[in-house]
Chains A and B, each alone.
Chain A
Amino acid sequence: MSQISKMHQRITKSEAMTGELKQSKELFRIMFYRSPIGSYIIQNGHFRLVNRQLAHILGYEENELLGKPSLSFVLAEDRDAVRENAVRMLKGGCSVGYEFRVINKQAKIKWVMETVVPICYRRKRATLGNLIDVTERKQMEERLQQITAEMQRSNTELEQFAYVISHDLQEPLRMISSYTQLLAKRYGKKLDDDADEFIGYTVDGAKRMQMLLHDLLEYSRVGTRGKPFTPVNCEHVVKQAMANLKIAIEECNALVSYDTLPTVMGDEGQLVQLFQNLIGNAIKFRREEAPQVHISAQRRNNIITFTVKDNGIGIDPQHSQSIFEIFRRLHTREEYPGTGMGLAICKKIVERHGGHISVQSQPRQGSTFYFSIDMAGGEAK
């Protein structure tokens, strides 16, 4: 090949490279200056290049930022952390999604998320940064945290309130009941039949109110007196619940059976109460034949779903939600005694364990209660 030809080839190659370089520069210019993300280059701690979006976030014109120390826009409390992050970035190569606060021209604080990467700019070490305004998200997060905290506080206060009133109201109630009985005992012969009847209603009313207070106390205790979660063997729990129901089970020849049951993280005392209420209900709301109750469990990922199935009187599906409300009764006290608090307590216990409770049933066709327990732990996680 002739010298001229070689030279021509070199010139063509050089022209092509110049063209590519031009294209790259143009591409960088478009990406940098038209980006919806605040972009900038910092060298020796000062802004060397900034785009419009960064200026917009900080509330300045672009030329007002150039040459200014970048840290001067960072909130004083966050400066050390931002500096440390920059050092870490220089050692490790880049940083991902780092959040801190800046102050804009109007002296307003804004939350931003920044990623930085070390680059070479005009033959010297520099930092290329990209930054977005996350103030709105941060404000929403803070509001959500506030609302959650307020709800927790209000819930705790309500539980405490229920606990105190149900506890403290028992004392005067005991006075009413005891002294009415004392009146009857001492002056019964001097009173007529009407008086006996009135005394009877007073004492009966006081006793019923005491039962209501007792169950309200039990309900509030689920939240206020719960124990920390530990590994609990559910077969032991069911056996304990059955032992507590021994007399009721024997009286109606109930058959209570269960499959292999897992160990879960929970409050053992409350889980005994949960099974005891469900098995107790299955026995209480029985049909003419001997009650049969079967308990089983299924695991899917971290959630264990327990099933308590009976052959009792069943529940009309229209009540399948309301039966879990406090003091909800579907029958008269004469038909089935009780305060209507048992399933509300069950629901509260299940929810404390991070689960849900539901029922599937038809009148006279038995009921199947389902409840889940989060293996990762509910409240105690």
Chain B
Amino acid sequence: MKSTTANRVIDILIVDDNPGDVRLTAEALKDCKVPTRLYTANNGVEAMAFLHRRGEFADVPLPDLILLDLNMPEMNGWQLLAKVKEDAALKHIPVVILTGSGEREDIVKTYKAHADCYVPKPIDLEQFTKKVKPIVNFLLTSTKLPTEER
């Protein structure tokens, strides 16, 4: 059984094709209220391999949270979101959309596809940290994440 979030390291999968953005997210998540362990996938295809623990990802844990970019090559964020939410073994994992787009259409589209949260990335580093950290803190402390079989 997976333990509750209170006394263990939280596994977060960042799905983003831009290493600069991955690093910024990692910086923003420093000093979270709970200890976190970050994993990265470059696109939707790699993320699905991670989530199904195929190939090089055979030994990775099922993440507690997915931070997902939308515009990526191969399989984009929407396609991955749809696959996660229609997969019985994955659909319980909260998905936070973390993207450069502030498009109204994108926001509506992702919520309709059952994203848990939509965060447009601000240009200001401090603003970015201020936005991302509380969301992750909120999801990992104030809410109860599902306790699925690992």
Contact between chains at B18 and A185 (CB < 8 Å)? no
Interface status of B124 (Cβ within 8 A of chain A): yes
Which residues of A from 209 to 257 have beta carbons under 8 Å from B?
210, 225
Which residues of B from 117 to 150 have beta carbons under 8 Å from A?
121-126, 128
Interface status of B105 (Cβ within 8 A of chain A): yes
Contact between chains at A170 and B100 (CB < 8 Å)? yes
Instruction: Give the complex CA separation of A182 and B30 in angstroms.
Output: 13
Other-chain residue from B101, B105, B125 in contact with A178 (beta carbon distance below 8 A): B125
User: What DSSP secondary structure best describes chain A's contact surface?
Assistant: helix
Contact between chains at B24 and A178 (CB < 8 Å)? yes
Contact between chains at A177 and B101 (CB < 8 Å)? no
Number of B interface residues, CB 8 Å? 15
Q: With a CB–CB cut-off of 8 A, which chain A residues contact B124?
A: 177-178, 181, 207
Instruction: Give the complex CA separation of A174 and B18 in angstroms.
Output: 12
Interface status of B55 (Cβ within 8 A of chain A): no
Interface string of A161-203 (1 = CB under 8 A from B): 0000001001101110111011001000000000000000000
Interface status of A293 (Cβ within 8 A of chain B): no
Closest chain A CB from B148 CB (angstroms): 34
Q: With a CB–CB cut-off of 8 A, which chain B residues contact A171?
A: 18, 100
Supposing A171-B18, A171-B100 touch, asked if A177 and B123 sit within 8 A by C-beta, the answer is: yes
Instruction: Give the complex CA separation of A175 and B21 in angstroms.
Output: 8
Supposing A171-B100, A207-B123 touch, asked if A178 and B18 sit within 8 A by C-beta, the answer is: no
Instruction: Give the complex CA separation of A177 and B20 in angstroms.
Output: 12
Closest chain A CB from B85 CB (angstroms): 26
Closest chain B CB from A339 CB (angstroms): 15
Contact between chains at B125 and A182 (CB < 8 Å)? yes
Q: With a CB–CB cut-off of 8 A, which chain A residues contact B18?
A: 171, 175
Supposing A171-B100, A175-B20 touch, asked if A225 and B123 sit within 8 A by C-beta, the answer is: no
Instruction: Give the complex CA separation of A185 and B105 in angstroms.
Output: 35
Instruction: Give the complex CA separation of A78 and B103 in angstroms.
Output: 50
Contact between chains at A185 and B123 (CB < 8 Å)? no
Contact between chains at A179 and B20 (CB < 8 Å)? yes
Contact between chains at A174 and B101 (CB < 8 Å)? no
Give A179's nearest chain B residue, CB to CB.
B20
Q: With a CB–CB cut-off of 8 A, which chain B residues contact A175?
A: 18, 20-21
Interface string of B5-28 (1 = CB under 8 A from A): 000000000000010110010010
Task: Name, among A174, A177, A185, the residue most crowded by chain B CB atoms within 10 Å (CB to CB).
Answer: A174
Interface status of A206 (Cβ within 8 A of chain B): yes
Q: With a CB–CB cut-off of 8 A, which chain A residues contact B100?
A: 170-171, 174
Closest chain A CB from B84 CB (angstroms): 24
Q: With a CB–CB cut-off of 8 A, which chain B residues contact A167?
A: 101
Instruction: Give the complex CA separation of A200 and B101 in angstroms.
Output: 25
Give A180's nearest chain B residue, CB to CB.
B125
Contact between chains at A206 and B123 (CB < 8 Å)? yes
Give A170's nearest chain B residue, CB to CB.
B100
Instruction: Give the complex CA separation of A266 and B123 in angstroms.
Output: 34
Contact between chains at A181 and B125 (CB < 8 Å)? yes
Q: With a CB–CB cut-off of 8 A, which chain A residues contact B128?
A: 178
Other-chain residue from B20, B122, B125 in contact with A185 (beta carbon distance below 8 A): B125
Closest chain B CB from A87 CB (angstroms): 53
Q: With a CB–CB cut-off of 8 A, which chain A residues contact B122?
A: 174
Q: With a CB–CB cut-off of 8 A, which chain B residues contact A174?
A: 100, 121-123
Supposing A171-B18, A175-B20 touch, asked if A181 and B27 sit within 8 A by C-beta, the answer is: no
Given contacts A170-B123, A171-B100, A174-B100, 11 further A-B pairs with CB under 8 A are: A167-B101, A170-B100, A174-B121, A177-B125, A178-B24, A178-B123, A178-B125, A179-B24, A182-B125, A210-B123, A225-B105
Listed in ascending order, the chain A residues whose CB lies under 8 Å from chain B are: 167, 170-171, 173-175, 177-179, 181-182, 185, 206-207, 210, 225
11 residue pairs bridging A and B, Cβ less than 8 Å apart: A171-B18, A174-B100, A174-B121, A174-B123, A175-B21, A177-B123, A178-B24, A178-B123, A181-B126, A206-B123, A207-B124
